[in-house]
Structure 1
Amino acid sequence: MTRFLSIFLLSLFPFCKVKSQADLSDTTLYFGQKPPGLVAEVFAPGIISLKDRYEYGSVFSRKGGEFYYSAIVNKKPQILMHELKNGHWRSPVIILASEKYEYNDPFLSPDQKKLFFISDRPIDGQGDVKDFDIWYIERTKDGWSEPKNAGKEINTIKNEYYMSFTDEGTMYFSNNGDTGQADDNNFDIRYSKLVDNNFTPSQKVSAAINTEYYEADVFVAPDESYLIVCAERPDGMGKGDLFISFKDKNGNWQSSKNMGKRINSERYEFCPFVSKDGKYLFFSRDGNIFWIDATVIDSLR
């Protein structure tokens, strides 16, 4: 699958003034945008979603004062961040970028101390591009550390995509590590528990979610009560759809189902994320980031 379809230039915008940090409302926490209802809308047009740029894969910090996302700039995806500081949303800061390597799919760890992402950079950060691995950087007193590979319990010699976490630190992600070719499209969802600050060998989730087709870009609810995945299936509504699976009373995943026309279209929907307050579902489509009232999830239970 080709995940990056367009090449755009980075544009800056004036500071977006909001109220003081102590008086922030739900609205101002989201770049001053009017909250969406049950019709998906482009998020922050002209601020985040720009006409001349391809954006995707977004995540807010737990308190909502940081917003990370991917954008294609000069042919290469990079990771940008906006910060709410002194009552203003600041212009984007480049967190990770390269003329040679790709940086995508940012996601913060539950303690907010690490920013995870995927990249095709080699382990030593030099030489030719390789398959996509999951990496992370750590917060330091001077900013962010150098990138660190998430390790052999997570990464394979093939591709790993898009991760998210439960509150307990279990990582959900996808890869095509069980396939014959590095470019094989049969990705599956996996998870790895965090034990004593180390990831355990990853395991596949059940066949209720994984099929013979493509399943990737997984968002897990912090309490592990549901999963949202991007899937390319014959019964989909378009090129790629978002599907959801809930756990039953015995803790087993129920068969995943299409999230329907409120989310999906004939185009490609991917990179789901639900805000920490549980109010909004974000996802990507056609080079823009969309959002919708998260009660759409409850309607599918």
Structure 2
Amino acid sequence: PSTDHAAIAFKIAQSYKFTNNIPAAEKWFETAIEWEYGSEAILELARMLKIQEKYTEAIQQFNNYLKEEPYRRPEINVEINACENALSWMKAQQDEYEKDMIVIPVTALNSGAADFQPAFRGEGQIVFTSSRSSAMGDAKDSWTGGQYFDLFTANTSYPGKFSTIEPLDLAVNTPYNDGSAAFNADASEMFFTRCGTDNRKVDDYCGIFYSYRQPDDSWSEPVELPFFEDSLNLGSPCLSPDGQLLFFVATEENGYGGSDIYFSQRLFDGWSEPENAGSNINTAGNEAFPSFGPDGTFYFSSDGLPGMGGLDIFSAKWSNKQFSRVNNMEYPINSGADDFGILIDDRPLRSGEDTLAIGYFSSSRKGGAGNDDIYMFIKTPKKPRPPVFILAGNIQQKTYEDPEDVTSPPVDTIVLPGSVAVIGIEGELQLLGKYPLKEDTSTFRLQVDKGPAFKITASAEG
């Protein structure tokens, strides 16, 4: 095949990548490599393998890329370390004594379409985003080919229990995309993302809209918040626990990368100029889906920080207008796919339930009902490892007042390096074994079962 054929294979692979058909992208990047497209195809193949959790193969391809482009070693070593961490995290959750997390799909909320980013609306209800068939409007989203997104509500009386799914107020949902809602503490204010209008003469950029609950419990007509100019995409709003800061995502050209997290201070007559949340969380990649937990922990998703593949969920500490202690939430909350939109559920559990934390998050991982699905995670104490019993001793020989007479009074002991310890069970003929010691030591140490009394004898040459 010619160089043109290799370039075509690479473009086909990129098309599959951008439409999230990762297995097909992997196949075509392999074809581009076979047809000698170059090192860029090797790097893309490594990333496709990583997204599919084929971490050992991904490491091999990252190393192959380094053979072609050794000057990028610092950057690629980060990718290799991320793959090694992912393997370690997954292995730990397969160990019955290290496993401390259960992840299950929330089937009551998921549909065959996309369902994601739940948020509490008061005590007994959540609001989430969905493109299920009951979303408003007959038109199809030109990007996804499915329904546009709307906001839906579900009643919840207990962690993990959901019922009565209905569309949110008609004042909020439109025939276009509405989603990613956030509420203040008493659920009297709502912030959400809206994209799309009937005006075909303007670009349909996404913006953040505000609505408040009216006396009849309906929502007021939403008003767009005037952050930045109207030629930027904004979304994923979230309020700080005190309601005084609004965090959101924007694709501002002066940011650090694709999409960054910004914040704005509530003022008497509106909101302050947005500020970039800084390089401690924002990267050359994409940061999105900010939220706060009940204890003030900040959560967000990133594909620019070292992770398992796509978007990973991270935690961070927010203080004095800056972030610190950024940590990956690890497997199984994170996966090779996109993981985002976490919600911590701190409602009290029934007495006797051995659970440390419960929450929900969204993911495009395999095994779901649709494109994106909502999952529940349950953090539990680790199973205690059984105790390990060690039999240890030191072989010594008595010395006597008269070295030629062992019946004379003993005066001291000396160690016997290189001797042999013979260990058995007291009162039985069973022999556990003979343990020759090294020439420079007189101590022995072995793992034994609990219970029996042991009989130990020793011998040495000379």
Q: TM (normalized to structure 1)?
A: 0.63
1:91 Cα deviation from its structure 2 partner: 3.8
CA contact (8 A) 1:189 1:210 kept: no
Runs in 1 of length 4+ with deviation above 3 angstroms?
A: 2-10, 88-91, 140-143, 177-181, 208-211, 296-299
Aligned to 2:148: 131
1 or 2, which has the higher helix percentage? 2
Amino acid of the structure 2 residue aligned with 1:118: T
> Match for 1:107: what amino acid?
A
- RMSD value, Cα: 3.7
The one-letter code sitting in structure 2 at the alignment partner of 1:156 is T
Does structure 1 residue 216 correspond to structure 2 residue 215? Answer: no
1:93–1:158 distance in 2 versus 1, CA, 3 Å: closer
Q: 1:293–1:140: structure 2 CA closer, same or farther, 3 Å change rule?
A: closer
Distance of aligned partners of 1:118 and 1:270 in 2 relative to their CA distance in 1, 3 Å threshold? same
2:222 is the alignment partner of 1:199: no
Distance (Å, rounded) in 1 between the aligned partners of 2:18 and 2:193: 14
- Equivalent residue number for residue 167 of structure 2: 149
Q: Residues 26-175 of structure 1 correspond to what in structure 2 (within 5 A)? A: 90-95=102-107, 96-98=109-111, 100-111=112-123, 113-123=124-134, 129-139=146-156, 143-169=161-187, 170-175=189-194
Counterpart position of 1:289: 313
Shift of 1:298: 5.7
* 1:258 Cα deviation after fit: 1.0
What is the CA–CA distance in structure 1 between the aligned matches of 2:302 and 2:19, rounded to whole Å?
11
Quote how far apart the aligned CAs of 1:168 are.
2.9
Match of 1:243 among 233, 237, 262: 262
Provide the C-alpha distance between the structure 2 equivalents of 1:134 and 1:3, rounded to a whole number of angstroms.
Answer: 26
Task: State the one-letter code of the partner of 1:281.
Answer: F
Task: Go from structure 1 to structure 2 and tell me whether the alpha carbon gap of 1:5 and 1:166 turns closer, same or farther (over 3 Å shift).
Answer: farther
Structure 2: gaps of 5 or more residues: 1-16, 23-50, 54-81, 92-99, 141-145, 304-310, 324-462
For residues 229-256 of structure 1, the C-alpha deviation after alignment (integer angstroms, 9 at most, x for no partner) is: 11011111101000111123x3421110
Rounded to whole Å, the distance in 2 between the matches of 1:285 and 1:244 is 17
Residue 200 (structure 1) shift: 1.7
Would the aligned equivalents of 2:257 and 2:283 in 1 still touch at CA under 8 Å? yes
Describe the superposition over 1:157-181 as per-residue Cα deviations: whole angstroms up to 9, x where unpaired. Answer: 1101211101131110010244646
2: distance between equivalents of 1:124 and 1:261? 37
Task: Provide closer, same or farther for how the CA distance between residues 191 and 50 of structure 1 changes in structure 2, counting only shifts above 3 A.
Answer: farther
Matching residue of 1:265: 283
1:202 to partner: Cα distance = 1.1
SS of corresponding position for 1:199:
coil
Supply the AA of the counterpart residue of 1:130: Q
Tell me, what secondary structure is at the counterpart of 1:195? coil
CA 1:195–1:6: 2 relative to 1, 3 Å: farther
Q: Say if 1:50 and 1:288, in contact at 8 Å, map to a contact too.
A: no
Offset, 1:192: 1.2
CA gap of 1:210–1:92, structure 2 versus 1, over 3 A, is: farther
In the TM superposition, what whole-angstrom CA distance separates every residue of 1:17-54 from its partner, at most 9, and x where no partner exists? xxxxxxxxxxxxxxxxxxxxxxxxx9xx87xx979xxx
Q: How far apart are 1:276 and its partner, in Å? A: 1.9
Q: Provide the rounded CA distance (Å) in 2 between the counterparts of 1:285 and 1:4.
A: 19
Q: Indicate conservation of the 8 Å contact 2:196/2:205, yes or no.
A: no
Counterpart CA distance in 1 for 2:135 and 2:177 is 17
Larger Rg: 2
Larger deviation: 253-262 or 133-142?
Answer: 133-142
Q: Distance in 2 between matches of 1:124 and 1:212?
A: 26
Tell me the residue number matched to 1:66.
Answer: none
Cα deviation for residue 5 of structure 1 reads 5.0
For 2:125, the aligned partner's letter is K
| 1:20-31 alignment runs, 5 A limit | none
**Secondary structure of 2:270 counterpart:** coil
Instruction: Encode CA deviations 1:197-220: one digit per residue, 9 max, x unaligned.
Output: 322221112x24564200001112
Counterpart code for 2:218:
N
- Code of the residue aligned with 2:275 in structure 1: it is K
Is the contact between residue 133 and residue 160 of structure 1 (CA under 8 Å) also seen in structure 2? yes
The secondary structure found in structure 2 opposite 1:234 is coil
Q: Distance in 2 between matches of 1:50 and 1:283?
A: 21
Q: What is the CA–CA distance in structure 1 between the aligned matches of 2:167 and 2:246, rounded to whole Å?
A: 25
The alpha-carbon distance between structure 1 residues 296 and 6, as it changes in their structure 2 partners (threshold 3 A), is farther
Aligned length: 223
The structure that is strand-richer by fraction is: 1
> Per the alignment, in what secondary structure is the counterpart of residue 321 of structure 2?
helix
